[in-house]
């Protein structure tokens, strides 16, 4: 076999790789319960400490909001990725490729993301219009919107968190881990619904629950179609980037042209 044939065989093997999902819905349920208990304890415990000791004295920093935000979000990310590592890799002996961390065509990733962004835009506009015209409900400020408008968090930190850290960690957890577990136990349709429902639920945005669930469904569908997290991570990051740049641009922290 020539070197050229060997390269072609290796590329074909990577392209046709079939993930070996060894974790299941029970693992996912235990992971979700653990995260819920620990994160609630962390948030309420932190709030109590700040209340008792005073925010500035507790963190001993003039930039308390940046520090507290970074610490709390960092704990959340470490816990999410930690349960994925424990159940999928350590306990079930699966690999990173089984979680969807493998290469996919860059051009297809960009194309799918572009089409998906147009779909999300149309859905979002239609949802806001229907909520306003039928029910008279105006879109409230989101948590990120509030953080930006209050200037309580550095714009650079928000960009790093929303564009890089959040897409990577959330896609590994919700699509690579949860979706795959639900699919293994109950099939594709149940996995699409449950993973997108949980994705919307944890954002704690009542008004945006339906759009977030649709976005979660779309991200899971792209993961199912491509068998790679590359496209969902890229789409998630670009979507968050557009939103955060709009918010930052409105406040003239950066200029949009």
Q: What pLDDT does 57 receive?
A: 45
3-state helix, strand, coil in the chain (%, to 5): 80, 0, 20
Tell which wins on pLDDT, 207 or 247. 207
pLDDT of residue 42: 84
Residue 32 DSSP code: H
Lowest mean pLDDT among 21-25, 97-101, 142-146: 142-146
Contacts of 64 (CB under 8 A, 6+ apart): 55, 56
Mean pLDDT of 215-231: 97
Per-residue pLDDT tens for 238-253? Answer: 999 998 888 877 544 4
131-159 pLDDT per residue, tens: 999 888 888 877 777 777 777 677 788 88
Q: What is the pLDDT of residue 255?
A: 40
Q: What is the mean pLDDT of residues 228-245?
A: 94
Give the total residue count for the chain. Answer: 257
Question: Which pLDDT score, from 0 to 100, does residue 184 have?
Answer: 96
Rounded to whole angstroms, the Cα distance separating 146 from 115 reads 29
């Amino acid at each position: 076999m020539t070197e050229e044939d060997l390269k072609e065989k290796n590329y074909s093997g990577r392209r046709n790789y079939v993930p070996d999902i060894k974790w299941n819905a029970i693992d996912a349920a235990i992971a979700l319960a653990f995260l819920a208990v620990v994160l609630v304890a962390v948030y309420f415990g932190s709030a109590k400490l700040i209340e008792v000791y005073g925010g500035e004295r507790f963190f001993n920093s003039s930039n308390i909001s940046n520090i507290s935000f970074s610490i709390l979000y960092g704990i959340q990310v470490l816990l999410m990725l930690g349960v994925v590592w424990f159940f999928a890799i350590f306990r079930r002996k699966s690999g990173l490729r089984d979680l969807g961390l493998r290469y996919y065509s860059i051009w297809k990733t960009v194309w799918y993301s572009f089409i998906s962004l147009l779909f999300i835009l149309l859905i979002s506009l239609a949802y806001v219009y229907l909520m306003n015209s039928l029910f008279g409900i105006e879109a409230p400020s989101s948590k990120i919107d509030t953080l930006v408008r209050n200037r309580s968090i550095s714009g650079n930190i928000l960009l790093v968190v929303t564009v890089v850290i959040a897409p990577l960690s959330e896609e590994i957890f919700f699509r690579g881990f949860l979706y795959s577990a639900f699919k293994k136990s109950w099939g594709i349709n149940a996995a699409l619904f449950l993973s997108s429902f949980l994705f919307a639920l944890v954002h704690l945005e009542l008004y945006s629950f339906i759009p977030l669930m649709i976005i979660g469904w779309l991200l899971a569908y792209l993961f199912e179609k491509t068998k790679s997290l590359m496209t969902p991570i890229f789409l998630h990051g670009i979507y968050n980037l557009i939103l955060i740049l709009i918010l930052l641009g409105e406040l003239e922290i950066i200029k949009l042209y």
